[in-house]
Structure 1
Amino acid sequence: MNLSTSLTKYLHGPSDTDAFVGRSISSHTRSEYSTADPLNINELISIPQGQHGLRKQKKIRSLRHIESVRLHEQDHISYEDKTIQIKGVGNSVLLLEWYMELPTAVRERVRVTGLQPLVDGLNRADMDVPLMQALAEKWWDTTHTFIFEQLGEMTMTPKDFSAITGIPVYGRPIKIDKHIHRKKDTIRRLLGRPLACVNQRRVDINWLYQSYKNMSTTTEEDIDILSRVFILALLGATLFARANDMVHLFYLPSLDCIANINNFNWGGAGLAFCYQQMDDLCRQNTSKIGGLWKAWEVWGREYLPCMRITPQCISSKVFPCSLLWGNCLPPTMEAKVLLKYYRLKLTQLTSEQVEWYPWGANTLHPYYVAQSEEPNTRRILLVGPDGGEWYLGERVTMQTSATEINKKSDDINHMTLLQKTNSSSNSKHPRMFLFWFTNEKF
């Protein structure tokens, strides 16, 4: 792919086929684009897509024409009528205990990074497994949207993610160095001696706690080190939680200067990771879902009142909205019965049954929701630790502008990707909005 073609794809978004079959934008490795200068377009065009969902199964690499958004239905979680034991990963209990033991100076460092909402959102609530399965059965990794038979498409938008989690989808892409575990001097400077002796790409979160919980914080350098270690563990237990309870060290370049941590687009990276986790779940690549999986439950209950079997923990609207549902117990109804109920409600879902403005008036939004408003209606490439994922704002205009689009249920199964875009066949794709939101004009 030459520079001209790559630049066109980057500024205007991919073609329908490129966006959905999971082709990498280039063959460059993750470490090459992770430190890209946002002013250097030659580095920006090298962002590959992650290998999740169908892309992980490597079944459609050679596909050239797509007949339907519902690709390879036999591999989808909705193909068979069965109950799956889904488990949400993350170590909230340990992180809560650790945070309460941190010195005041370290807590203040965590607060100024903008990641304090991740701490506030830590909870011990169990997953509503039937609700998660019902949502996964409507999710399609080909478009990163839920497809409802009577309604059309919806998804978790950047604004939704920020309103739920308190993390804005705004800023520069996170920096990642996959070889940083080999740079002992850098590890010792950023994380102190305990990790300088560990020659591994990732470490166990519990090991981090045990190794650093009694660390002395008599100097500013010690405070910074302990702050980085806790933030690293926090990311591994929440935003980028994985099934093995381990966290990668490759996030460290983004944690180098604590005062600049809030300049990175953690919200965009977290939303990309959420998409990837749901992609794998809907394709039955895993029965464990990582990242901020609780955000999917909150999203379903905020937009779809029929999903509110469990009452809110807080009666009035607060932000981030995960606090409304964070510590609510899952329904006590039998799982099979509840799953059948959720399936029926989602199948029959109509526009009148959707709460199109779950976050209230724009004037009442906190700053992090307002920052995430701009990319809501656009097509953007969200850059996460496992690669980039497309958010296709033009496909969910009902949601982003509350404008109803007529979609007959009989046509959903046979509707092609090109037909489902909201532009004519002669028009160009909407320009992709760069994910750090500069004022430059191209």
Structure 2
Amino acid sequence: MGTARPAVAVTGIGLVTAAGIGVTANWERVCSGVPTAATDPELAGLPVAFSCRVPGFDARALLGRNAAWRLDRVNHLALVAAREAVADAGWDTDGWDAPRVGVVLGNALGGAVSYENAHTALHTEGPDRVSPLVMVNWPINMISGYLAMQLTALGPNLVVATACASGVTAIGVARDMLLSGQCDVVITGASEAPLARTPMAAYAMMGALSRRSDDPAAASRPFDADRDGFVAAEGAAILVLEREDDARARGARIRARISGYGSSADGHHASAPDPEGRGVERALRAALDDAGVAPSDVEHVNAHGTSTKLNDLTESAVIRRVLGSPAVTSTKGVTGHALGAAGAIEVAYTVLTVENGVIPPTANLEKLDPEIDLDVVADRARTRRVRVATSHSLGFGGQNAVAVVTAP
């Protein structure tokens, strides 16, 4: 194995997902294994009219009237999660060295709701009814731009887009910024609010979404023999990362470490993974090498586990081939698939597993696909001390990213 680089500490977490608003609500729900998918009135009339939306999210109450009106939902989710993460890390944004604080977020679709509303207005009411705000809400870069404004984070500021791997890619880039000395603190993670009618219709027509409309709660079933596609979701996860020595020097709580990162491309297909899993295997081995840990050291995997036929088979074969038989879970059974935010959400859950010694179950797993030879945690959460874990993300375009999370 390679020589591990200096450790990067996770000092704060913020979560806004279909499992709830805040870390406590999220952790309780994913550990319960109770799914969140439900009929979605906003998608009525589409081939698939159910999703995983954040429950009870009132942007006006959480962010104020002006931000609720001006910003896209993708920004709302990110801002609420970021405020929780920064408070959790014990930072006062008025007191930090703002030019040394970076923001690196992941996203896939940008301000999808803002764009769709503008497009609808253009074609139904005319060009003079298109809001100019769409050009500061639709572009993908604005997700991190608004965070910098809200948090007075004046260092490097960017959004990375590697489809459903975006969240893990952002965390990897953030880690590199800390280790290179560009920043002292990086606000990282991802946000996605994709539940607009056009993208949801397109996902349905390409056959990616589950059609289990008679029982939406049972639709997201990673690794199950009867899975038939993913359930689309929205959400955000924000992590505060610092060099471990710096975090300890200021007396911060270290929830876990991001100890390794690897990425790769399949170079195979626009939307299907390489059936041999060679790309994700390269990313996994690179992450382990970066962390300086052996495959046999990995005790837990928070899998990409989308509930699609191809992904689950490909990923499970790679896990078995490289890691043997760690305890595997896919929290998408509860939360659905939040696309570009999924990886960040799952890294956050992996940090909580390492911190709390609890592995959430894979919801709706009733009969393991006979082609999958893994120890998949099902039925109920498993209490187990975990010192080394990996979180995997695979994206359209064949883009793969893996993070290694370790105990401090």
The TM-score, its normalising length taken from structure 2, stands at 0.25
Larger Rg: 1
TM-score under structure 1 length normalisation:
0.23
Q: Which has the higher strand share?
A: 2
Question: Which of the two has greater helix per residue?
Answer: 1
